[in-house]
Amino acid sequence: MIIRGGRPLKGTVSAGGSKNATLPIMAAALLSDSPSTISGIPMVRDIRTMSELFCILGANSYIDSNMMHVQPNTINNFKAPYELVKTMRASIYVLGPLLGKYGRAKVSMPGGCAIGLRPIDLHLLAMKKLGAKIEIKHGYVEAVAKKLRGARIVFPKVSLGATVNATLAAVLAEGKTVLENASKEPEVYDTINFLKAMGAKIEGSGTGTLEITGVRKLNGVTSYTVIPDRIEAATLIAAAVMTKGRVTVNNVNTAHLSLFLDKLKEAGAAVTACNGLVRVAPHKGRLTATGIHTEPYPGFPTDIQAQWMALMSTAAGDSIIKENIWENRFMHVPELGRMGADITIDGNTAVVRGVKKLSGASVMASDLRASAALIIAGLSAGGETEIRRIYHLERGYEALDEKLRSLGASVDILPEDGL
C-alpha cells in the first residue's frame, strides 16, 4: 500500500458488519437442520475461508452481496483440515457444533495472526466438562461424545473464543450448562441472540454467567443481521482524528465503543456520538497524551491498541500503554519507529513519547491490527509511506483502501512485485 500523507479526511463513510461476530454466528448455523440467512456480513478473507470450510464439511454455503446462506443438513464430513485452519483461528468454532450435533469432530490446531500464543486449552476444558473424550494427534483435536451433558464450567480467565465454543456445544446438550467467568464481548452477545432466534434457551448474556438449557433441535433463521464492526469503526474514527479531518462514520453501535470514545475526548479529540453514528471534527493543536490498558470487554479492546498507539505517537506528552491480552502485540512498534515515533517497550508496557510529526517511510505489517495502525500513521505523516505485507488487512477489513479514498486519502494498493 502506498500512502501520500498529510491530507485531512473529509466526508461520510460506513463501518461494515462485525467479522468477529459473523464467524461464530456462521458456526452456530451448523447446529440447525434447516437453512439460515445471515445479512450484513463483511466480505473479508476470514469469512470466505470459513465458507470454504463449510463446503469441505459438506454444508451448502454461499455468499451473495454481503449476505450468507447456510444449508447445514448436508454435512457428511467432520474434519477441519490444516490447510484451512492454519490461516484462521476462528475455524476452531466448528468444534462445538460438530461435537454437539454429530458427536464427533476432528479439527486442526488453529492459526491466525502472530500476536502471541493463543492456546485452545479453555475450549478443550469446556468440551471435556460436557462429557467429550479429547485426544490430540498429529496436530489435530479429535473429539467424540455419544451425547454431551450439561455441566458447570468455570473459566480460569475470560475468553471470547472459549465462551462461544462452549455455548455452541451446550445448546443441544442434555440438561443445564452454567458458564462462569464468561466473556461479555458484544460479539458473544450477538452470537447468543442468533442462537436464541434458532430456539436455544440461554440466560444471562452480558453478565459473566450464562445458563444454557439444552434443547432437542434448533431451527434455521430466515434473516439475521450481524452487529456493526466496532473495531473497523474505531479504526476509521482514529484515522479521521489523526488527520484532523471532518468525518461522519455511520453504522456504529456507540455503546460498544464507549470507553474508546471517552478516551478520545480525554485526549482532546472533537468527537460526538448519537443515533448510530460518530462525527469527528478537527481538534485544535496536538492531542494530549493519554494512556490505556487493554482488558476484556467492557475494558479497552486489544484490537484497538495498535491504532491508539499510532494516535499517541504525535500527542503532546508521554502515554503509557499496557497490553494485558497478547504478549506479542507490540510488533508494530519498530515500524512506527521507522516513521519517527519515539516508543520504548518494557515487557507488556510501552511508553510513547509524542513527537510533533511523523514522516513517511517503508514499513512492514506484521498482523491485522498492526496494518491498521501503520495506515493511520501514514495518513498523517509527511511524504510517502509504503506498507508491505498489507495482505494481513484483508483478513478483517473490507475495502478499507476504497473507503479511505472516498474520504480524500491518497491510497493505492500495488502488487508486491511492483514495489
Q: Are 300 and 185 in contact (CB under 8 A)?
A: no
Q: How many other β-carbons are positioned within 10 Å of the β-carbon of residue 105?
A: 28
Kindly tell me if the per-residue pLDDT of 281 is higher than 60: yes
Q: Grid coordinates representing 251?
A: 453504522
- In three-state form (DSSP H/G/I as H, E/B as E, the rest C), the secondary structure along 87-143 is CCHHHHHHHHHHHHHHCEEEEECCCCCCCCCCCCHHHHHHHHHCCCEEEEECCEEEE
Longest dimension (CA), the chain: 65
Q: How far apart are CA 409 and CA 141, in angstroms?
A: 46
Q: Are 327 and 258 in contact (CB under 8 A)?
A: no
Q: What is the pLDDT of residues 207-252, one digit of tens each?
A: 999 999 999 999 999 999 999 999 999 999 999 999 999 999 999 9
Which of the four pLDDT bands, split at 50, 70 and 90, describes residue 185? Answer: very high
β 277-281/292-293 pair status: unpaired
Kindly tell me if the per-residue pLDDT of 416 is higher than 80: no
Kindly tell me if the per-residue pLDDT of 118 is higher than 60: no
Q: Are 375 and 400 in contact (CB under 8 A)?
A: yes
Least confident stretch, 265-279, 325-339, 400-414 = 325-339
Q: How far apart are CA 180 and CA 24, in angstroms?
A: 19
Kindly tell me if the per-residue pLDDT of 112 is higher than 80: no
Q: How far apart are CA 317 and CA 286, in angstroms?
A: 10
Q: What is the mean pLDDT of residues 352-371?
A: 94
CATH number for the region 19-225 comes to: 3.65.10.10
The helix (H) or strand (E) run that includes residue 173 is: none
Strand partners, 350: 321, 345
Kindly tell me if the per-residue pLDDT of 117 is higher than 50: no
> What residue segments make up the domains of the chain, in order of their start?
2-16+228-418, 19-225
Catalytic site residue from 1, 25, 29, 113: 113
Q: What is the pLDDT of residues 40-68, one digit of tens each?
A: 999 998 999 999 999 999 999 989 889 99
Residue 179's contacts (CB-CB under 8 Å, 6 or more residues apart) are 126, 153, 155, 163, 166, 167, 170, 209, 210, 212
- Which pLDDT belongs to residue 89? 78
Q: How far apart are CA 75 and CA 71, in angstroms?
A: 9
The dihedral built from the CA positions of residue 192, 193, 197 and 200, taken in this order, carries a sign that is positive
Percent of the chain with pLDDT over 70: 97
Q: How far apart are CA 181 and CA 166, in angstroms?
A: 12
Which of the four pLDDT bands, split at 50, 70 and 90, describes residue 109? Answer: confident
Q: Is 244 helix (H, G, I), strand (E, B) or coil?
A: coil
Kindly tell me if the per-residue pLDDT of 335 is higher than 90: yes
Kindly tell me if the per-residue pLDDT of 115 is higher than 70: no
Query: pTM above 0.85?
Result: yes
Q: What is the mean pLDDT of residues 128-153?
A: 95
- Which pLDDT belongs to residue 65? 86
Annotation marks residue 113 as catalytic: yes
Is the model more confident about 192 or about 119?
192
Q: How far apart are CA 325 and CA 263, in angstroms?
A: 19
DSSP state for residue 320 in the 8-state scheme: E
Q: Grid coordinates representing 46?
A: 476470514
Percent of the chain with pLDDT over 90: 85
2-16+228-418 and 19-225 have identical folds: yes
Kindly tell me if the per-residue pLDDT of 105 is higher than 50: yes
Which of the four pLDDT bands, split at 50, 70 and 90, describes residue 418? Answer: very low
Q: What is the pLDDT of residues 73-86, one digit of tens each?
A: 999 999 999 888 87
Helices (H), 3-94: 19-29, 45-57, 82-85
Q: Grid coordinates representing 271?
A: 468527537
The CATH architecture assigned to 2-16+228-418 reads: Alpha-beta prism (3.65)
Q: What is the mean pLDDT of residues 254-278?
A: 97
Mean pLDDT across the chain, nearest whole number? 94
Q: Is 165 helix (H, G, I), strand (E, B) or coil?
A: helix
For the purposes of burial, counting CB atoms within 10 Å of the CB of 129, is it exposed (0-12), middle (13-18) or buried (19 or more)? buried
Residue type, 127: M
Q: 11-46 as b/e, with b when 16 or more CB fall inside 10 Å?
A: eebebbbbbbbbbbbbbbbbbbebbbbbebbbebbb
Residue by residue, DSSP assigns 188-239 as HHHHHHHHHHHT-EEE-TTTTEEEEE--S-----S-EEPPB-HHHHHHHHHH
Kindly tell me if the per-residue pLDDT of 294 is higher than 60: yes
Which of the four pLDDT bands, split at 50, 70 and 90, describes residue 417? Answer: low
Is the model more confident about 417 or about 270?
270
For the purposes of burial, counting CB atoms within 10 Å of the CB of 79, is it exposed (0-12), middle (13-18) or buried (19 or more)? middle
